[in-house]
Amino acid sequence: MRDLVIIGAGGFARETAQFARERLLGFLDDDPAKRGTNVDGVPVLGGTKEVPPGAQVVVCVGSPRDNGVRARLAGRLDLPPERYATLVHPTAWVSASSRVGPGSVLLAQVVLTASVRVGAHVAIMPHVTLTHDDVVADFVTIASGVRLAGGVHVGRGAYLGSGALVREGRTIGPGALVGMGAVVTRDVPAGEVWAGNPARYLRHVSEEHRHG
């Protein structure tokens, strides 16, 4: 049964479409150049406001340059939680004690080991490992190859770059951005950019891009 639309038609959306094709109606994207075209063989049906009645939805947009974009789009859609699909790649492994919220996407080879809590509209890219008692809030993006040790808390709308490692019990604040390959040994405050090994403060995330 085809009952799903993906908001966005960029890289993350295309990756998600590859394992959701059997139920996928098409993409919705506000780029007028994409309207009426096919992206990887999937039709772009219209703009993001043109959600078919009764269709399930997943918002697949995101960028480290604007980590609030997914929250803003979901806010504009203003759909009830039951309208959002939760998509888990068949090669991902989610333990029986873990939970994943509506609108979230787990791509290939993601692992949630024990009592992991993933909120709504979270994007988790390939080869990510979340270990015991990690808590990931709504609208977080976790890029490929990230590893979180046990008991890590990631705040709403944070972005963790590819290959980042986070020590057990650390907190990544809301709207924070952790750079590619960073080794996080201390808490990262809300709205700050940290990078390096060990990770250190670089600057603040701009207010324009932080909030959804």
Q: Categorize the per-residue pLDDT at 63 as very low, low, confident or very high, splitting at 50, 70 and 90.
A: confident
Contacts of 183 (CB under 8 A, 6+ apart): 164, 165, 167, 196, 197, 198, 199
pTM summary value:
0.94
Does 36 score more than 70 pLDDT?
yes
Does 37 score more than 70 pLDDT?
yes
Amino acid at 40: D
Does 41 score more than 70 pLDDT?
yes
DSSP 1-58: ---EEEE--SHHHHHHHHHHGGGEEEEE---TTTTT-EETTEEEEE-TT-PPTT-EEE
pLDDT digits (tens, 9 = 90+) for 124-181: 999 999 999 999 999 999 999 999 999 999 999 999 999 999 999 999 999 999 999 9
pLDDT digits (tens, 9 = 90+) for 108-125: 999 999 999 999 999 999
Mean pLDDT of the chain, nearest integer: 94
Q: Which of 55, 105, 62 is nearest to 79 (CA)?
A: 55
Contacts of 169 (CB under 8 A, 6+ apart): 149, 150, 151, 152
